[in-house]
Structure 1
Amino acid sequence: MESLRIAMFSWESLHSAKVGGLAPHVTELSEQLVKLGHEVHIFTRSGWYRDYDEINGVHYQRCSFDESGDIIAQMNKMCDAMYSRFIQVSKDYGNFDIIHGHDWHPVNVLNRIKYEHGKNYVMTYHSTEWGRNGNVNLNSPTSNEVSHREWLAGYESSEVIITSENFKREVQNIYSIPDYKISVVPNGISPGKMEKDVDSGSIKKDYGIHPYAPVVLFTGRMNYQKGPDLLVRAIPRVLDGNWGAHFVFIGEGEMRHHCQNLANELDIGQSCHFLGYSPDEVLKDWTNACDMTCVPSRNEPFGIVVLESWDANKAVVATDAVNIVDNYQNGLISNRTPESIAWGINYALDGLDSTTPIMGNNGKQLVKTKFSWDNIARNTVHVYNRIT
């Protein structure tokens, strides 16, 4: 296989500014591409890091810029900084064979490279403005511009990667990207990334939870798209049948305080634990200490939290917005309502001594096969080869 020099453009990574699930995708995909013999440079924000590092074989070209202004102004300045850095790195290392962008943030720099240097590019969609907001505030100037850049990426790119069939349909319905451009390549995880030996009882006890009480875990952004409020509204129905259950929420976002207030209004505050943003080790502890995870998303392009849960041998209760879960095989699928989510959780709680651990183990096997980064990186290279 011919070695490729790849320029990866993303506003986040695990070794720069980090925001959400895009960061591990970009970093872990890049590391696997290096293992396959390719040269990868990630152009990203510097955050509080220095301008350059080589980590696990990946070159991090971190770009500093004035981060004042709204998100559109910030991304405009980020793209200008990325372009300058790209020109310099091209002089130092040689021309790039592949330009690969992630989400709308770097679209300006991708198109500038295309038109000033004749370089076609690959675009990976990880979410859409419509999906993130659920038709809420989509007429704001900011949302209109984000949506425009998402459309522009699909129009100007030579190849498009989308992480699931459901998400492909969403992107095509919104932005009319033709089939011939699109490849469905799932997200991935490094097997063993989340699995950890823990004393579940001690972890629960540290948070005032009885060591033998069942725990349901939510992790992710506390926003409308991810549906934490749907889970909170499901909890009274869960407690009716499983009164000792507790619910741990890890993540920040605009709905966190709303969900905490809602829990108190529903008189279930004593069963809910809102930890906010937590370090990776705390997340790992709870992913292994919990009895199951819940993914109550209203919209879900993929659902990396599902893979993280499976990696720790945990079953998942997910809404039908998540299309990587096989019902009753590696998790349970509910409708996007509190009543249905409560049904799924109660079913899993009732099976803690029988079927639920089996579903978690089945998910673990998928992590080792279908969702390994080796498979995903090789499929990504197949996409690259169509434009080289």
Structure 2
Amino acid sequence: MRVLIVSWEYPPVVVGGLGRHVHALARRLAATGHDVRVLSRQPNGTDATTHPTLDETVDGVRVLRVAEDPAHLEFDRDMVAWTLGMNHGLLRAAPVWLDGWRPDVVHAHDWLVAHAAIGVADLLRVPLVATVHATEAGRHSGWLTSVISQQVHSVEWWLAQRADALITCSEAMRREVSELFDLDPADIHVLHNGIEPRRWRVERAEVDAVRTRYAPDGSALLLYFGRLEYEKGVQDLIAALPRIRRTHPGTRLLVAGDGTHADFLASRARTHRVRRAVHLLGHLPDRALAATLAAVNAVVLPSRYEPFGMVALETAAAETPLVASTAGGLGEVVRDRITGLSFAPGDVAGIAEAVRTVLDDPAAAAARARTAHARLRTDFDWSRITEATVAVYTATRPRPRDPIGKPKIPTGNAFGPDPR
């Protein structure tokens, strides 16, 4: 098939798990004989003089990285305006780049590329498949109180209503998308994210260096890695750390990643009097992250909202013991007491109890980690996921549709009086 993927992130521009997912999917599609193109962008804050539009083929995938326009728009300050500007650039560049090449399907990844993906699909009259990786309502526990949240939700609504086929990464996300956008859950496909385990193999000396730096006395090391945002719940893990240290003195927490809540987390560590035991590492390159994963006693994922839980798969690939909340897709990725230990989102006492269980019985924790690793070859194998994605492409046809009106913005909680 001829497949056009539209994504606001594609390596080397990677913001989170979406970029890694799209990269793996595109390469796998190309490797199995499909003609794949990716329409994406250059890094935020650049322009056509520093980062001109680039057309290149990498790993069998033809990628167009569109330069930013000159307008002074910043994602952090002008998110919706910046997003519209990016889509305008993608739409202007696409027709010349396609140059008569007509895809069998356009695959949009999340709301940020809705305008460009819908525009190209409409122009070429081809089916539009959309993957919803997260929702604005979900990120804010159902509340759409700010103007920006309402704007983002309305674009998500438009993409979900316009798409000829919809994909989510978990059953939890299927339920969420169905409820938010008034769709029949039977019409939504669930395709898990995949993982490539070999990427996490490292030398023993690199692992020992991490232990020497952060736990020279042999005390326990915990790790959180991912975006530093409120919905990731790292503040709950920091609140649990004093309880953990009472029974396991000297335990330290490594926090790897970037986000808007880095300063907030540092202040929470001071409030709980564990600032010296919490190390905010910032973004770690893959090699350093792999060494850190192999060095710690457990990874803790305290998410309050999690569409899937890619970090849980990366932890399993490293065969590191895992403690995770049951938020969203994590409840599907992690099988309590089989592939890891689980607790309710926001449950500080539950975090402490689960971590203590891992530290008290490392042999049982290691056995669960091996089971989680073995599961990667079945439920999260990229070959199967790619095959299932192609099946969605093949079955999708353009649907006749009525004009789509503006959605009604919930005045209360979007998930009802008893939000999840």
Matches of 2:274 and 2:211 in 1, distance apart? 18
1:44 is paired with a residue whose SS is: strand
Residue 94 of structure 2: aligned partner? 86
Residue 298 of structure 1: aligned partner? 304
Distance 1:211 1:377, change over 3 A: farther
Residue 178 of structure 1: aligned partner? 184
Matches of 2:217 and 2:159 in 1, distance apart? 50
- Asked whether the equivalents of residues 63 and 81 of structure 1 are also in contact (C-alpha less than 8 Å), the reply is yes
How far off is 1:135 after superposition? 4.3
How far off is 1:259 after superposition? 1.3
Trace 1:200-239 onto structure 2 (pairs within 5 A). 200-207=207-214, 209-210=215-216, 212-239=218-245
Instruction: Note if 1:340 corresponds to 2:337.
Output: no
How far off is 1:363 after superposition? 1.0
1:218 is paired with a residue whose SS is: strand
Q: Which runs of 5+ in 1 are unaligned?
A: none
Residue 13 of structure 1: aligned partner? 10
How much is the aligned-residue C-alpha RMSD, in angstroms? 1.6
Matches of 2:38 and 2:204 in 1, distance apart? 34
Residue 385 of structure 2: aligned partner? 376
Specify which of 54, 57, 77 is matched with residue 57 of structure 2. Answer: 54
Cα deviation digits, residues 48-97 of structure 1 (max 9, x gap) = 665122111111111112263311111112112212222123215x2111
Instruction: Note if 1:122 corresponds to 2:129.
Output: yes
Trace 1:1-388 onto structure 2 (pairs within 5 A). 4-15=1-12, 17-47=13-43, 51-66=54-69, 68-69=72-73, 70-91=78-99, 94-135=101-142, 138-199=144-205, 200-207=207-214, 209-210=215-216, 212-321=218-327, 322-323=330-331, 324-336=333-345, 337-352=347-362, 354-387=363-396
Matches of 2:238 and 2:163 in 1, distance apart? 41
2:199 is paired with a residue whose SS is: coil
1:385 is paired with a residue whose SS is: helix
Matches of 1:285 and 1:350 in 2, distance apart? 23
Matches of 1:180 and 1:89 in 2, distance apart? 36
- Asked whether the equivalents of residues 131 and 225 of structure 1 are also in contact (C-alpha less than 8 Å), the reply is no
User: Which amino acid is 2:322 matched to?
Assistant: V
1:168 is paired with a residue whose SS is: helix
Task: State which drifts further: 48-57 or 297-306.
Answer: 48-57
Cα deviation digits, residues 108-147 of structure 1 (max 9, x gap) = 11222233332220000111112223346x3222111110
2:386 is paired with a residue whose SS is: helix
Cα deviation digits, residues 229-270 of structure 1 (max 9, x gap) = 011011111111111211100011122111111112211122
1:249 is paired with a residue whose SS is: strand
Q: Size of the alignment, in residue pairs? A: 380
Matches of 1:236 and 1:116 in 2, distance apart? 58
2:198 is paired with a residue whose SS is: coil
Residue 403 of structure 2: aligned partner? none
- Asked whether the equivalents of residues 102 and 124 of structure 2 are also in contact (C-alpha less than 8 Å), the reply is no
- Asked whether the equivalents of residues 194 and 382 of structure 2 are also in contact (C-alpha less than 8 Å), the reply is yes
- Asked whether the equivalents of residues 238 and 269 of structure 2 are also in contact (C-alpha less than 8 Å), the reply is yes
Matches of 2:72 and 2:309 in 1, distance apart? 31
Matches of 1:109 and 1:236 in 2, distance apart? 48
2:232 is paired with a residue whose SS is: coil
Task: State which drifts further: 244-253 or 154-163.
Answer: 244-253
TM-score (norm 2): 0.87
Matches of 1:161 and 1:211 in 2, distance apart? 48
